């Protein structure tokens, strides 16, 4: 067994998930490919969204993949970092907005 949970070389093998469930795997990749095509949003915009989400879901594979994708598309490092901040802001906002629940509960329990 490998000694670490993540191996960068595993990203190349992503496609092999189809081998153990062909139909679902193929459907997923077809869907995935379609999502990132030019549409109402440009492929460039979607790449930045994907980069932000990659950080929020803490996926090292996706971070590698969408950093490279951004470079290929000529997305600048400033744009990439702003996208990461957008993700981080939502994530920390999501944490902090629960502060209201904490306050509600505190108030309810307090005399």
Partner 1 sequence: MATKSLLARKDDLANTETQLEYLSNGIFANGELPTFKDKIAETGNFPLKPRKLEILQINLGYMCNQVCSHCHVDAGPDRKEIMTRETMQQCLEVIKKTGAHTLDLTGGAPEMNPDFRWFVEEASKAGIKDFIVRSNLTIIRANKKYYDLPEFFKKHNVHVVSSMPYYKREKTDKQRGDGVFDKSIKALQMLNDVGYGKEGSSLRLDLVYNPSGAYLPSDQEALERDFKEALKEDFNIDFHNLFAITNLPISRFLEYLIASENYEDYMYALVEAYNPAAVENVMCTNTISISWDGWLYDCDFNQMLGLKVASKVKHISEYNEDLLQNRNIIISQHCYGCTAGAGSSCQGTVA
37 makes contact with partner 1 (CB under 8 A): no
76 makes contact with partner 1 (CB under 8 A): yes
68 makes contact with partner 1 (CB under 8 A): yes
Q: Residue 15 in contact with residue 29, Cβ under 8 Å?
A: yes
Q: Of residues 20, 74, 101, 106, which one binds partner 1 by CB under 8 A?
A: 74
Nearer to partner 1, 44 or 63 (CB): 44
Long-range contacts of 3-9 (CB under 8 A, 24+ apart): 6/60, 6/61, 8/60, 8/61, 8/64
89 makes contact with partner 1 (CB under 8 A): no
Nearer to partner 1, 14 or 93 (CB): 14
Nearer to partner 1, 68 or 105 (CB): 68
Annotate 25-35 with b (16+ C-beta within 10 A) or e (fewer): beeeeeeeeee
Residue ranges that bind partner 1, judged by CB under 8 A: 8, 12, 43-44, 68, 71-74, 76-78
């Amino acid at each position: 067994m490998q000694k670490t949970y993540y191996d960068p070389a595993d990203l190349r093998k992503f496609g092999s998930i189809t081998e153990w469930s062909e139909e679902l795997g193929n459907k997923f990749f077809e869907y995935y490919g379609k999502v990132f095509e030019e549409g109402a949003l440009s492929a460039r915009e979607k790449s930045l969204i994907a980069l932000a989400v990659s950080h929020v879901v803490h996926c090292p594979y996706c971070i590698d993949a969408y950093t490279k994708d951004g470079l290929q598309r000529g997305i600048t490092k400033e744009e990439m970092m702003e996208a990461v901040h957008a993700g981080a802001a939502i994530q920390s906002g999501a944490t902090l907005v629960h502060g209201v629940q904490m306050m509600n509960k505190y108030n309810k329990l307090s005399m």
